[in-house]
Amino acid sequence: MESYQSILILCSLVHFFIFFNFSFGLDTLLANQTIVDGQTLVSPNHMFEMGFFSPGVSKNKFLGIWHTCTPDVVVWVANRNDPIRDPEGLHLTILGHGALAIANARGIIWSTSSFGLVSFPILQLLDTGNLVLVEKTKESFIQLWQSFDFPTDTLLPGMKLVYNPDVGKEKNLTSWRSSDDPSPGDFCLRLTNKGLADSVIFKGSQIVHRTGAWNGHYFSGTPPFPNPIYKPEIVFEEGKLISFSIPYETTNPQRVVLDKSGSSSHFLLNSGKNKWNPTYANPLDSCDEYGKCGPFGVCTFGVTIKCQCLMGYTPKFPEDWDLQDWSGGCTRASPLDCQIEDHDFFEVTGIKYPDTLQVRLNKSMSLKECKTACLRDCSCVAYTNPYITEGSTGCLIWFGELIDTRYLSTPNNKQKMYIRLRKSELDSLTAIQKEAKEKSWSIMILVIGIVSGVTVSSFVNIGIQYMSRQSRKEKTVEDVELPLYKFSTIMTATNNFSTDNIIGEGGFGPVYKGMLSAEVEVAIKRLSRNSEQGFAEFKNEVTLIAKLQHRNLVRLLGCCIEKDEKILIYELLPNKSLNTFVFDRNRRTHLTWPKRFNIIMGIARGLLYLHHDSRLKIIHRDLKTSNILLDGNLNPKISDFGMARPFEEDEATARTRKVVGSYGYMSPEYAVAGKFSVKSDIFSLGVILLETLSGKKNRGYANCHQHYGLLARAWLLWKENKTLELLDECLTDTFIESQVKRCIQIGLLCVQRYAEDRPDMISVYSMLATDEGLLPEPKEPGFFIDAGSDVVRSYTSTSGECENGTMSMTDLEAR
């Protein structure tokens, strides 16, 4: 199959070029092969799966694509208009004339259009979730069809929405009719372009919501950067055609979906929990309903919504207005007369620009020229420079009605609009404003007073707790000095917390890369504001880790506590975390067996120190591959002490109401009963060990269908005396057989079902460190099925279910 890669020369499409990786496997379907109900294609990275499904309570079948880990979240549907009512003989196939078709015993139900005769068509599900049909010729691959050209209700990274004035060629999102019916529902999210791009949600032909004109960075009606990971882009092509997309990057699975109630939301995958977290939604509140306050009205959302008239305007129907029916909007108190009056402009800041119903746009005019142009034209009611990008020129002039304006809840003061008024009106308004400003100042001062009061008291609070801890331990623990850094230093180091510097998402906030000086690179963890949970973890981490020093623990270099900023500064490890290596198809080939063994030993050494040798005995409680960082020589360092708890030597088991930690790494007694002890860390270590040597996740994309995952597989292979098969296929001849077998056995000892059967860290470490000595026989591993259930089952009772639903290599060859 290697040779296919070398002939991949010509290819027009970028996604295709980057992500099309030829190896015929679980991800490909060739001519004469079929996929029947129950079989699926799986993308090479195991992120996406394609197959037949029935939505909700419906009995109808559809062909769809979903994230392997969340099969309920279908991201694309082929035959949304052609439900399959009779599944007899149902299959997907590639027809001789290059069309993809779904058929049942009665005939073809759905198909793509035909491309004429093709000789070697290949269907592949790519890592992006794009399903592509290509024709292999001698020199290249020609793309015939791709699912990304036919979005349904979901936008995936790499997919494009397109505004195209040629009717019928646009690409939009259309909601499902209901959770049981993927056929097109009432709502449609489309791009529009009146010189400025906008994204608009329609119900039928009615606008229900507008995201606001694109200001060069984002849509003007959305919060500036809803989160650092969602970075949508608008691309203008020849001024007319525009496309909207989220660039593809592998690390953060995300999606935008237009749901059946007409709300579009952005979700990020929390892969540890296989859960999608919404980061932000449109419409945000009722001020986002299109034209809520009528013409010349402006909406404010506080506790409830409130409509006001723009400066110089009064309610058109005051009685309705008083009854909170704002739809009539506002009108000028007295009409302007351009012949005899002087006019000037009132500046409104922090707003979503009114709809561009009747506008004139000039991209090269300065703001000053814009003002002159507006003054000169009597029908101009307002103007602005709609672009907020640094140094950009531009002039947008509104005529007629200003509709769908709102104050933003996170104001961006660069978004300003200038409203035409009589000069005399403006003078009196300025006087009123000045007075109002003074009032609001006094309110602000009061608010600042309260806020800083809170901050000071909570600060004093840590101080006190910290000190009392100190005095309690005074005799045994010498003080560890933790340097305090100034906030301004951190700002400089991270380039003002530039999103470009973000290197990850820690337990309680983003992690940035920073330069403390020309040489010293550090990792900077910033506590998200107003995060109660985060604050507790922050305190915990500071007080615990400041006292710990070991070459296999990540070093805390300092912290910064200023106003409401709480920041931790760590040594920066160039190779990121273990999961980015062992689960990555390319990077894991660098991990030879000696390197993997060194990593396992290093983690064991670090944990031995935490459990037995450090001044404070500590249970980590959240050990997982993403919390194991790797330095330049791939030496491991345990990080993230946000959940860690100190314990007394004689305290065997503690209980917690709140189970924290990551699924896949939690011991059964902890996941089910909230009991934690050093033995729950041992369990997590066992999982990490088995993951590191197999290159497979215990619970992750690859294993959603195999409910019991890696541990079950390890156990089964152990019983059949075939443990070597567990080893990563990338490790061909670099390993010592006896060492690997020993390692797997130690891993299995660590993940035994009952905590008391698991060895402690001293035994684990000494078993790993020597090649001699008989090891105990492991008993069945513990599995846990679901956070909500108290079932702890072993694999043996349900063996054989693992491969269901996923096509295996042998299936493919047989077809």
Ligand X SMILES: *[C@@H]1O[C@H](CO)[C@@H](O)[C@H](O)[C@H]1NC(C)=O
Enumerate the active-site residues.
622
H/E run at residue 539? helix 532-545
Asked if 791 and 634 count as a contact pair (C-beta separation under 8 A), the reply is no
Which tokens go with 380?
């101009």
Which tokens go with 679?
């033995």
Q: How far is the CB of 364 from ligand X (least distance, A)?
A: 33
Beta carbon nearer to ligand X, 184 or 224: 184
Which tokens go with 145?
């069809």
Q: Name residues contacting ligand X, limited to 391-430 (CB under 6 A).
A: none
Beta carbon nearer to ligand X, 24 or 150: 150
- Give the separation between CA 708 and CA 586, rounded to whole angstroms: 26
Q: How far is the CB of 327 from ligand X (least distance, A)?
A: 24
Q: How far is the CB of 81 from ligand X (least distance, A)?
A: 11
> Three-class SS of residue 803?
coil
Q: How far is the CB of 207 from ligand X (least distance, A)?
A: 11
Stretch binding ligand X (CB under 6 A), from 38-46, 164-172, 191-199, 304-312: 164-172
Stretch binding ligand X (CB under 6 A), from 37-45, 166-174, 275-283, 425-433: 166-174
Beta carbon nearer to ligand X, 155 or 516: 155
> Three-class SS of residue 187?
strand
Q: Which of 307, 348, 346, 310 is nearest to 331 (CA)?
A: 310
Beta carbon nearer to ligand X, 192 or 412: 192
- Give the separation between CA 564 and CA 512, rounded to whole angstroms: 18
Q: How many helices (H) and strands (E) does the chain have?
A: 15, 45
Asked if 358 and 398 count as a contact pair (C-beta separation under 8 A), the reply is yes
What character string, x for contact with ligand X (CB under 6 A) and - otherwise, covers 222-261? ----------------------------------------
Among 168, 247, 773, 800, binds ligand X (CB under 6 A): 168
Stretch binding ligand X (CB under 6 A), from 162-170, 485-493, 567-575, 749-757: 162-170
Beta carbon nearer to ligand X, 172 or 662: 172
Distance of CA 149 to the CA centre of its chain: 23
Please report whether residue 188 would count as binding ligand X according to CB under 6 A: yes
Residue in the structure block whose two tokens are 């009589």:
422
- Give the separation between CA 809 and CA 34, rounded to whole angstroms: 14
Q: Is the dihedral of CA 405, 410, 415, 420 positive or negative?
A: positive
| DSSP labels, 619-645 | E-S---GGGEEE-TT--EEE---TT-E
C-alpha to C-alpha distances, 219 to 244, 388, 621, nearest whole angstrom: 11, 11, 41
**Residue 206: Cβ within 10 Å count:** 9
Q: How far is the CB of 168 from ligand X (least distance, A)?
A: 5
- Give the separation between CA 367 and CA 394, rounded to whole angstroms: 7
Which tokens go with 241?
């055609």
What character string, x for contact with ligand X (CB under 6 A) and - otherwise, covers 117-156? ----------------------------------------
Beta carbon nearer to ligand X, 207 or 462: 207
Asked if 148 and 55 count as a contact pair (C-beta separation under 8 A), the reply is no
Beta carbon nearer to ligand X, 202 or 708: 202
What b/e string do you get for 420-456 counting C-beta neighbours within 10 Å, with b at 16 or more?
bbbeebbeeeeeeeeeeeeeeeeeeeeeeeeeeeeee
Among 20, 148, 202, 230, binds ligand X (CB under 6 A): 202
Please report whether residue 192 would count as binding ligand X according to CB under 6 A: no
Interface size with ligand X, residues (CB under 6 A)? 7
Stretch binding ligand X (CB under 6 A), from 95-103, 163-171, 320-328, 587-595: 163-171
Stretch binding ligand X (CB under 6 A), from 15-23, 136-144, 168-176, 739-747: 168-176
Beta carbon nearer to ligand X, 188 or 689: 188
Q: Name residues contacting ligand X, limited to 353-392 (CB under 6 A).
A: none
- Give the separation between CA 681 and CA 637, rounded to whole angstroms: 15
Beta carbon nearer to ligand X, 81 or 465: 81
Which tokens go with 39?
């079989």
Which tokens go with 814?
């047989």
Rounded to the nearest 10 degrees, the angle between the axes of helix 423-473 and helix 532-545 is 40
Please report whether residue 172 would count as binding ligand X according to CB under 6 A: yes
- Give the separation between CA 165 and CA 241, rounded to whole angstroms: 7
Beta carbon nearer to ligand X, 201 or 359: 201
Q: Using CB under 6 A, list all residues that contact ligand X.
A: 168-170, 172, 188, 190, 202
